[in-house]
Amino acid sequence: MATRERPLSPHLQVYSWQITMVMSILHRATGVALAVGAFGLAWWLVSMAAGGETAGRAMACVSSPLGMVVVFLFSLALVYHFLNGIRHLLWDAGRGFDIPSVYKTGYTVAALTVVFTALIWFLALGGH
């Protein structure tokens, strides 16, 4: 019995990167990051509730350069996941599911993520 050559299933090396693919991967990745980050947020909240030296150590950790990067990335993930979640809810309602709208809303979510995250940090750092 001869073995037939069968085509391999397509994978990431076959497909060219598109915004739809990137947005889907980022939505899943930010969901995981937010789930992990929720533990850090809970740790920080418990530390603040404990007060005193515990709160001081937590604030020193969060306000360190690495802590600020982690908090920034958490806020970026939160904004992106929220906005892309709204986009998905619109799709569930049957709106914006044609290809031009999918691309337009994808770029809109990406741009608004940058704008909203920058605005949040501007206000958080004492901007007026």
At 2, is the pLDDT very low, low, confident or very high (cuts 50, 70, 90)? low
Q: Quick one: what percent of the chain has pLDDT higher than 90?
A: 79
Distance between CA atoms of residues 64 and 105, nearest Å: 36
Q: Which residue has the higher pLDDT, 6 or 75?
A: 75
- Secondary-structure class of domain 20-124 per CATH: mainly alpha
Q: What does the pLDDT read at residue 75? A: 97
Tokens of 24: 């889907």
**C-alpha span between 22 and 92 (Å, rounded):** 20
**Which pLDDT score is estimated for 8?**
65
Q: Using CA atoms, how far apart are residues 108 and 112, in angstroms rounded to an integer?
A: 6
pLDDT tens by residue, 43-95: 999 999 999 999 999 999 999 999 999 999 999 999 999 999 999 999 999 99
What ranges do the domains of the chain cover? 20-124
Q: What is the pTM of this model?
A: 0.84
19: amino acid identity, one letter: I
For the cut 70, the answer to whether the pLDDT of residue 7 exceeds it is no
The rounded mean pLDDT for the chain is 91
